[in-house]
Structure 1
């Protein structure tokens, strides 16, 4: 991808992202399955196991590839790729295909399948589809979304502690991207369950040390927690909490949060995570900045950090499949934060 000339989504960038996603959501191989075999009969390929989300190297990346395409189609319905996106959705987002995905979840050994990262992204996809004029897609996906909402309902009472990581297990990220589903689907019970866990897990946190990044991170444990808390607290309460959580942010401390990660090898799937870290940090910093008065020093520092992180990794969304199958989704989060 050529270096961007903007730090916001443009039709040109939207088209580039759409072409990237259309090139991988139906690409079955290579594929890294999250799959427990209970016997020889379970030794099946991705498409046999997952009739919709079999592409993009892994299930969750395919889900957020669909989210990316749905988001781009809504924001830029005139895209040259719009017809191809609609054909893809019309073919795959059907009751029959969704029934196949539900069938997989009914396996006893699939209880922890994609928890919590994939759960969150599936709910984020449904939240996006609920905004579309074409209601068939959201209606078809609804049973799968409700199944994952039910999984959250069953899991959260047992989740005494948060999972404070910069990778797929992060509870803060999962609840952040699940928020809009609970709101748009009118699931007030789930929304209050999420809000209660955010308060239990994070409200006592103070003066975050930000010992990051780790080599595998594509999320900032510190910033994604702040973005999660922002989603669930009233604005005044969030600002008060943030002042205690990052008390020196206006002076760009802890310094690690304000400096983009260095990506030493973009052909290494784990090291390539660091491009995602830069993009997701930009998304979080923009969310934080939007919650503060424009002239506040912390808001200025946050927006500056967001722009530096975007500049470091937005030009590398495409190029090697280890990043290309997922990075555009995180770039879109960053480019549209606050819209």
Structure 2
């Protein structure tokens, strides 16, 4: 089903745009492992539990979500569909999902916010050499009513994305970054964008971003338990266990492999989310069983957007939510908030 949806999206987007969204770094082995490694966690159902009512709600950063699925930040969404981020944000709001807006959004944040009403939304920030650009992006986050600042920390430099080199993908839709960083507001090339990133970003900067933004800070791109602890010490309210969808370095561990030690290191002192390779609702429940508070999803929802606009994206989110609900019933756990490692097969406890 998902393969058919992606094929339809690819036909509509064209080779270069599809390659950008679908591709990873190097030989794309980490991207594949992100999907495969969720299989290491086998669920152990409890029998004879009353599951006539299922509650998919969870709490993340002190706010209750209707279900444990959020939308990961993804750049250049107008290359997938003409309505871009506005359509995906509308779909997320209608399906009760958190939406994370990329600082490389091709739609103005105020328009995205208007499409969401009071639905939960976060703003993703790449940190750039020009700190005035960062301040402008943070101002856009506040103006759009975003509830948290998601700082991506695994992009000091761009990864080697060989599929993009082969297809020659080049952004043509200007982004928020172009509007604040480029003198004429035209779309920068990928190389020009990557050159703007600040490779000198360190832990000393994180607290300052939290203070200047006035928003809770979530660090995205954490793969080590010691970095998760440092994130808490630096004032982060949450971490996203992520390897950038396998798009940065094709030699790192999968997020399914990284999650358990990070959950143990955080020890409930911050919210823990995970992305990478989540394709089914039972993958989300697996992540909850390991100890994540929620999961972020990217490509499956992006294919829905490309193939069917807001309706297509909403259908993909609702499919995942329905699969979560079904999985909870079948493992004998009527509340998503109660899923823990007791639901994992003994070999994975």
Question: What is the TM-score when the length of structure 1 is the normalising length?
Answer: 0.28
Task: Name whichever structure is richer in helix by fraction.
Answer: 1
Task: Name whichever structure is richer in strand by fraction.
Answer: 2
Q: Which has the higher contact order (CA 8 A, sep 6+)?
A: 2
Question: What is the TM-score when the length of structure 2 is the normalising length?
Answer: 0.28
